[in-house]
Structure formats: C-alpha cells, structure tokens
Amino acid sequence: MWNVHIQKFQKCMCLLICMGLCACHTPQTDEDTQDNIPNVVSPVKVTPVRAGAIADEITLNAVATYLKKNNLKANVNGYLIGVQAALGLPVKAGQPLFIIQTKEARAVDALADSLPPHLLPYRKNVVIRASQNGFVSQLFHQTGDYVTDGEPLCEISDQNSFAFLLQVPFEWVDKIHTGQTCTLILPDSSHIQARIAYQMPLVDPAAQTQQYVLHLASPKWLPENLIARAILTIRTFPHAQLVPKSAILTNEEQNHFWVMRVVNDSLAVKTPVQLGIVNDTTVQILSPSFQTSDRVVTEGNYGLPDTAHIRIIP
C-alpha cells in the first residue's frame, strides 16, 4: 500500500517538472525567424539614365508608281506590218515603234508595176513614233493586227513621273504635311530619302487611307508596284530622359510602370515612372526627374521586390 502511494507521488513530480520546463521555454517569434534568414543578393546589370534625343516615328506603306501614262495611238486605219515596241522596253521620244500599212497602200503595192507614177506615193507606210521618254508599260497589238484611227497601240509610262504613293490612315492625316521628309526602306533593306510633294484628293473606300505623293531626293529607277516602308518623324525631343527598354517593368494589365533604381551599389528601389516615346530599344521617361548619376537595373530586374539587395556584375 505504501509503495503504491510512492509511485503516484513520483508520477506527479515528473508531470510537474515537465510542465515547468515547457513554461520556461520562450517561443520563437516571426521576427527571430526572419533575423535568422540571410538576405538574398541578386546579381544584376545596371546602366545610367542618360539624356539624349528621341523621335516619335510612324511607319506606313508606300507603293511605287508612274503618275503619267500616255497611250500611243494609231493615226490611220491599216495593218500593223512592223512592231518594235515590247513590254517593259525603254523608249526615247521620236523612236519608231509601229509601222502601219493602210488599205490603200496595200492595194497600190499589189498593182505597183502597172500604176502610173503619180500614184506611187500611196505605197508609203505610216510610222508611229514614241511621244516621250519612258518605257512600254502595256502593249495592245502585235504584227498583223488591223487597227483603226485613234485606237491605242501601247501605253508609255513617263520616266520623269516616277513617285511613291504613301498610304496614310485618315485619322493620321493631321500629322502629315507637304514638304515633310521621310525615309523609304526598300525590300532589299536599302534606304532612300523622299519628300512629300502633295496630297491627293481621294480616299481608298475599303482601307480608308488617303494617298500622298512622295518624290525621291535623287532620281532612281525602280519597278512599278514596289512596296516600301516609309518612316516619318512626327515630333522630336532633343533633351529627353532615356533608359533601355529592358529597364522598364510593368504589371499584368500594363497600366503601371516602374524601374529598379540603384542606391549605394547594393540596393534596388522600385521607382514608378511615366513613359513617353517608346521605340524598339529605348524608352523616354517623362517623370520623375532623375539625376545624371542615377542608374537603373537592366538585367536581373524581373521579380525583384522593392528595396532588393543586389550585386552589380559587369
């Protein structure tokens, strides 16, 4: 009986000792846990915010064409017995292109040996010559065809009327003006300077684009219907705050933008910015105003929290 009481007493003492030990233990707080976690240092590349010029540009399509095209016409009824014109052939003013034999000349020619001398002049054929310099853009008849007076024989495009037709969406018409210069980029990546000569008073009914005539700064032979990209400068900011496009971060809705500004070579601070002109490689910062010594993170900035620890790498 006595032994039973002693065992109960020992169990109670053990229980009290365990409870005392648990009460004496101080729980670890979240702050202690965070203190024990080392700071994550992200390797990044940085670049200074620079001042420079940036232009607001638009790119439109322009199509090569010849504005003046004249039809070379027959001036008598007769048969084509000679055709020197060929599609695409360059021609000069006065160059013979067609020879027409009239019905009368053909009849006289058949009876030439028995005709009196005063009828022999009727044997002469009619030569049709090019009316201007250019090239044959359309050919309507071949040797042996019978043509009537005034019927078109071929179309000659005036080489001096070469131009590009710029297709401008009507909502952008107020940004384009006569005399404005632009750069044409051809399919072979070559560049040509051009100038807006005048606006044409018509709008494409399907695309709702208005046409402007572009004259080349220096004469150049190009095929008709060639499509070029025309780059026009709308406005220029000579003293803008510029950063690389890779320095700009945004949210999923792309309505808030920021950069990670470097502080003391070891911290990157989230700095909201307002954007201006954006091109393929560079972005204009309208606000805030940065110092010339300020730098922003360009690589390794994605996912960085505000006030992130960084290590600048070359």
Q: What is the mean pLDDT of the chain?
A: 85
User: Could you tell me whether strands 308-312 and 41-48 are parallel, antiparallel, or unpaired per DSSP bridges?
Assistant: parallel
What are the chain's domains?
A: 41-54+238-312 (2.40.420.20), 58-65+162-237 (2.40.30.170), 75-150 (2.40.50.100)
Distance CA 221, CA 99 (A): 29
- Residues of the chain by 3-state class (helix, strand, coil), percent to 5: 20, 50, 35
- 223-257 confidence digits (pLDDT tens): 889 999 999 998 889 999 999 999 999 999 989 99
pLDDT at 34: 47
pLDDT at 103: 80
> What's the mean pLDDT in 53-57?
91
Q: What is the DSSP string of 212-253?
A: EEEEESS-----TT-EEEEEEEEEEEEEEEEEEGGG-EE-TT
- 190-232 confidence digits (pLDDT tens): 999 999 999 998 888 888 999 999 999 988 888 889 999 999 9
3-state secondary structure of 76: coil
pTM over 0.85: no
- 252-280 confidence digits (pLDDT tens): 998 999 999 999 889 999 999 999 999 88
From its phi and psi, is residue 14 left (phi > 0), alpha (psi between -120 and 50) or beta?
alpha
> Which residues are CB-contacts of 19 (< 8 A; sequence separation ≥ 6)?
none
- Do the Cβ atoms of 226 and 63 come closer than 8 Å? yes
> What's the mean pLDDT in 122-129?
79
In this predicted structure, the answer to whether residue 33 has a pLDDT above a threshold of 50 is no
In this predicted structure, the answer to whether residue 156 has a pLDDT above a threshold of 90 is yes
